[in-house]
Amino acid sequence: MKKKKMLITGISGLLGSNLAYLMRDSYNILGVYHTHKVEMAGIETINIDLTSGKDVSRLIREFSPEIIVHCAAQADVDVCEEHPEDAQRINVLGTQNLIENVNGAGITLVYISTDLVYSGEKDSFSEADPVKPLNHYGTTKCQAEKEVLKKKDSLVLRTNFFGWNVQNKYSLGEWVIHELTQNREMYGFMDCFFSSIYTFELAKLLDLAIKKNLSGIYNCASSSSMSKYEFVSEIANQLNLKQNLIKPISIDEFEFKAKRNKQLSLNTRKLAKDLSIDIPPISYSIERFVEDFKKGVPEKIKSSGRHINIYPSASGIISYGQQCIDDDDINSVVETLKSEAITQGPRIREFESALCQVTDASLGVVVNSGTSALHITCLAAGISNGDEVIVPPNTFVASVNCVVYCGGKPVFVDIDPETYNISLQGIEKRINKKTRAIILVHFAGQSCDMEAIHDCVHSYEKKFGHKIYIIEDACHALGSSYKQTKVGSCAYSDMTVMSFHPIKHITTGEGGAVLTNNKELRRKLSYFRSHGITSDFDELLYKENAVDQSKYTGDKPLRNPWYYEQNCLGYNYRITEIQCALGISQLKKLDGFRQRRREIVDLYNDTFKNIEWLKTPLEKDYCDSNFHLYVLQFDFEKIRKSRAQVMLELRNKGIQTQVHYIPVYTQPYYRECFKTNEGNFPNMERYYRNCLSIPLYPMMAKAEVNKVIKDIKEIAK
């Protein structure tokens, strides 16, 4: 069934973004923003000034919506009081322009009004009560209502709501959680009553009202009310936050620029009757809000609907990869900078725990780079002089250098011509009794066939009678999965390495991690990260030096708090609290990043799959890839251009491309030290001659994706 076309104004606002997030599967949505750009997965967004009649006319004509939900407004009550002309222009003129262009056009119009149109002098207000706003915001909304009702069959919903902001600010509910989790005192008005409703519940009522073809004025809120002090306290209670931080006061004690209504309880019986439903009380909205908070919904909304307050490239070039940093990330770092610990503290353990939760690994050790992670992984596996480690040639040099750091010998194996990952048949040919480990690179995000490789290695362990470590280099694959298991879970390996370089799926600036399910490996990894030092009493070799034998607490000698031992040669590969704060914030957006990458990949695949001089990347049915790279294979001979020419042409059009990778064994160091050379691995070299990575990162706007597609298609002309 074809989805109806819905236009939502104010997509960057709290209600507009929440409605779009919840209703995008049911409607074909176009979201309108003006001063705050938003891009949301699954919907189109456009920058329109609703106060321009010309722009509104073009918008309605080109999109031809069947439904308009008009949320856009200057809704800051005090700002409206200080700048009444702006409020009049945005709230009234913008609405007038919409009405002029939709009247008589057969379009369903829903106008989001406010409870502030009422006087606040009664215990409860129904739609039959006269409007008597106390401030300029309420006045402009009353005027806009009159404009809306000029259109036959239009619907006005008077409401008050709370939910999740896509911008870096808080609704009342979010503010409560933020302040109390920061152990800050806050105020709650004892004498201010309202019937606020959770945005997701409001969306359900709005959708039903549209389907029932309701028109006229309705109160659309919770069926009961409470004071704002009670509201704040109930959220704190349900989240086990400190209620003693909430201070009850009168609204008269607070200095607002605009007058505020004390009593805004709304009677919703008319809406309940005409929708033939029971509208839930405000306590239910709070419960749903808290449940969604625990499920991570606010992070999903912020990552799905991206408020673009980001840092575009000064060069104007569409890069092949780019970090996605928003205000939440910045605030997380700033809060850490203001805390007591900025190097070794609680955020390191929190980041490790969050990584384990995301990947299903049991244990994690975070370090200062992916390269450091690879190095300590080889150290923990005991790689030393004379040990051989099987490696792929299609990777960055760090995946191989880590073997050499430990004195081991890298043994290259050709790649699979379809997946560009290491070949299982190649492993079977090169594995021998000197093989100590295998490093598997999940190239571009696609997992190697881990079960097959695990079974192969296990059979050779039995044959040779010693352990062969399986190490996953998953620096490209955070968020990918293999046969319903998450990459990083170590279901088929001993250790998995991640990187958090700026172009990876999440970033800590520079940073890396090793994941494992083995406590002994985790212990070794921790030592190698930090100078080989331990203060764990059970692991000290000279325990007598760790205690003051002359002093006892109970029947135990007093510990010497300064004492530590270096029990192996370690390194300073420690990551900082600042980086981990960024990593924790970034991890919350991983699902949104993944969804946007997949949308871009699907567009690329659909466009390029039928172009005879291009080959799109294959995704095996056992893998669900969180594409780190999108690598095309070009038939440069067919288009009669070299790769350098193609890269230069695209660069001149503002598109950066890259080659991933130059075969590691062709690098001068490896040719000289390990006698490798060109011609050793034909699959790798065939791939290398034709590969080119094109832009792929979550912050790519649709216009940028379309430009990349258009300019690549024109390459052969």
Q: What is the pLDDT of residue 311?
A: 39
Give yes or no for residue 589 having a pLDDT over 80. Answer: yes
- Residue 253's pLDDT band, with cuts at 50, 70 and 90, is confident
Q: What is the pLDDT of residue 357?
A: 95
Give yes or no for residue 314 having a pLDDT over 80. Answer: no
Helix, strand, coil in percent for the chain, rounding step 5: 40, 20, 40
Q: What's the pTM value of the predicted model, to 2 decimals?
A: 0.63
Give yes or no for residue 315 having a pLDDT over 60. Answer: no
Give yes or no for residue 102 having a pLDDT over 50. Answer: yes
Q: What is the pLDDT of residue 648?
A: 95
- Between CA 151 and CA 70 the distance in angstroms is 14
% residues pLDDT > 90 (the chain): 74
Give yes or no for residue 120 having a pLDDT over 60. Answer: yes
Mean pLDDT over 628-635 rounds to 98
Task: Find out whether 145 and 101 touch, Cβ atoms under 8 Å.
Answer: no
Domain with CATH 3.90.1150.10 in the chain: 590-716
- Residue 521's pLDDT band, with cuts at 50, 70 and 90, is very high
CATH fold for domain 5-169+196-225+269-287+297-307: Rossmann fold (3.40.50)
Given this structure, which CATH class describes domain 331-587? Answer: alpha beta
* Residue among 474, 435, 470 at smallest CA distance from 452: 470
Mean pLDDT over 562-588 rounds to 95
Give yes or no for residue 313 having a pLDDT over 50. Answer: no
Q: What is the pLDDT of residue 316?
A: 62
DSSP run (H or E) holding 67? strand 67-70
Flag the least confident range among 298-307, 501-510, 597-606, 613-622: 298-307
Q: What is the pLDDT of residue 702?
A: 78
Q: Is 679 helix (H, G, I), strand (E, B) or coil?
A: coil
Q: What is the pLDDT of residue 4?
A: 92
Per-residue pLDDT tens digits for 296-307: 888 777 765 554
Mean pLDDT over 641-663 rounds to 95
- Residue 446's pLDDT band, with cuts at 50, 70 and 90, is very high
Q: What is the pLDDT of residue 307?
A: 43
Mean pLDDT over 348-368 rounds to 97
% residues pLDDT > 70 (the chain): 97
Domain with CATH 3.40.50.720 in the chain: 5-169+196-225+269-287+297-307
- Residue 103's pLDDT band, with cuts at 50, 70 and 90, is confident
Domain with CATH 3.40.640.10 in the chain: 331-587
Per-residue pLDDT tens digits for 137-193: 999 999 999 999 999 899 999 999 999 888 766 788 888 888 888 788 888 999 999
Mean pLDDT over 62-89 rounds to 91
Give yes or no for residue 310 having a pLDDT over 60. Answer: no
Flag the least confident range among 250-264, 298-312, 322-336, 446-460: 298-312
Q: What is the pLDDT of residue 312?
A: 42
Q: In sequence order, what are the residues at sequence separation of 6 or more whose Cβ sits closer than 8 angstroms to the Cβ of residue 637?
A: none
Task: Find out whether 213 and 123 touch, Cβ atoms under 8 Å.
Answer: no
Flag the least confident range among 28-32, 269-273, 437-441, 524-528: 28-32
Q: What is the pLDDT of residue 444?
A: 98
Return mean pLDDT, the chain: 92
Per-residue pLDDT tens digits for 385-420: 999 999 999 999 999 999 999 999 999 999 999 999
Burial (CB count <10 Å: 0-12, 13-18, 19+), residue 700: buried
Longest dimension (CA), the chain: 95
* Residue among 218, 90, 200, 93 at smallest CA distance from 154: 218
Torsion of CA 442, 443, 447, 450, to 10 degrees: -50
Q: In sequence order, what are the residues at sequence separation of 6 or more whose Cβ sits closer than 8 angstroms to the Cβ of residue 670?
A: 400, 410, 664, 676
- Between CA 75 and CA 172 the distance in angstroms is 14
* Residue among 500, 564, 566 at smallest CA distance from 367: 500
- Residue 638's pLDDT band, with cuts at 50, 70 and 90, is very high
Task: Find out whether 671 and 410 touch, Cβ atoms under 8 Å.
Answer: no
Give yes or no for residue 14 having a pLDDT over 70. Answer: yes
The DSSP letter of residue 88 is I
Q: What is the pLDDT of residue 168?
A: 65
* Residue among 57, 32, 26 at smallest CA distance from 44: 32
Per-residue pLDDT tens digits for 218-230: 999 999 999 999 9
Q: What is the pLDDT of residue 105?
A: 73
Domain at 590-716: CATH architecture: Alpha-Beta Complex (3.90)
Q: What is the pLDDT of residue 308?
A: 41
List Cα–Cα distances, 567 to 37, 87, 364, 377, 405, in angstroms: 54, 69, 21, 17, 20
Mean pLDDT over 686-707 rounds to 92
Mean pLDDT over 43-59 rounds to 90
ω into 661 cis (within 30 of 0): yes
- Between CA 90 and CA 362 the distance in angstroms is 53
